[in-house]
Amino acid sequence: MVTTPTLSAPVGPGQPNLPDDLRTLRQVLNEFSTRGFLQPAVTLPAEGGFDAAVAAALQAVENQYFFGEADPDNKLEANDTLFRFLVQAGQDSQQIAASLSGETYALAAAMVPGGIDRQKRTTVTTPQLVNGKTVMKRETQVETINGNIRSYLPQILQALTQRALNDTDMLMMALGTIRAESSSFRPIDEGVSKYNTSPKETPGHHAFDLYDFRSELGNDAEGAGALYKGRGFVQLTGNENYDKVGAQIGVDLLADPDQANEPAIAAAILAQFLKNKEAAIRQALKNNDLARARRLVNGGSHGLAEFKASFAAGRRYLGIVIPPKARAKAKAKAKVGTSATPAVKPAAAPKGAAVAGLR
């Protein structure tokens, strides 16, 4: 059960500043920053008192979301708007992955734009009688065509939920992986490239021959590379991965590798692969080490630029949508009649806020 962070006593200059409260505040601020809600980002030590770094981080939040003012008396308390705002923003972002809500779709659309809905425009000409004369009237009809996100994200959410990965960090990891591996948001076959296939003039050349006899992939025969090439949302690659992950999800992928492209199975493969690396992935994300997070899935840096771009887009979306909602909830609970003065007075206000297989 998730415990809602709280403060047992006021925090700020001249306040009790109990160690547990400062530890909680630092953690809340770090999580808020890590999710991309605070620019420039901050990383506060887990232990410490109410120092200049904590004061500056609080003031930065106030400047970005409260026009420089949030809480009275130059102190922070559990029921103050600013603290509730920080806590609510974290809770809302954790809950966003629960279902295919409008917010979840929008997050996926931001992170994997190749899977978004599209509009089809058709011009229709019809005869109409005007002042006794027949004229042709042209009208443009707009039809919304569902994109791949609508088709496949529900299955991915279900697979993540079944493996206790239904929080925003792991949803973003799944979406970033899809952006890097199958940008149209559908399970696909890996294409022939210089990374998996030798030049045509090479003796014995055939598609995916560079994957043959790759011990780290579990391939030990000619043709194994093509048989167990990358497939699905996460591009599961190699005999060893097909064997291990297939057994974990209850599907014989060795007997029929093409099953890895069936949407429900592809979703399960993606979620299971992330589950297998969960602890390391979570640590990498906590450290904002996206290169390591990508390497844990891909085995290298293939698709790293797309992966980083996807996370940046997702964090921008969360920063735009979630904090204002949290702010509205916090304001609704604010004490009636309290004067609005900054929790911490600034020295100077800031100038604004700115896969699965080895290859």
pLDDT tens per residue across span 288-331: 899 999 999 998 889 999 999 999 999 888 877 777 777 777 77
Q: Which residue has the higher pLDDT, 75 or 249?
A: 249
The per-residue pLDDT for 127 is 87
The per-residue pLDDT for 335 is 54
| Distance, CA of 151 to chain centre | 18
Q: Print burial letters for 5-33: b (CB count within 10 Å at least 16), e (below 16).
A: bebeebbbeebebeeebbebbbebbbbbb
Confidence at 1, pLDDT banded by 50, 70, 90: very low
Q: Which residue has the higher pLDDT, 264 or 39?
A: 264
Average pLDDT over residues 9-25: 95
The per-residue pLDDT for 98 is 60
Q: Helix, strand or coil for residue 237?
A: coil
The per-residue pLDDT for 90 is 76
The per-residue pLDDT for 337 is 46
Closest to 35 in 3D by CA, of 178, 168, 176, 171: 168
| Distance, CA of 198 to chain centre | 35
- Determine whether domain 148-316 maps to CATH 1.10.530: yes
Residues of the chain with CATH 1.10.530: 148-316
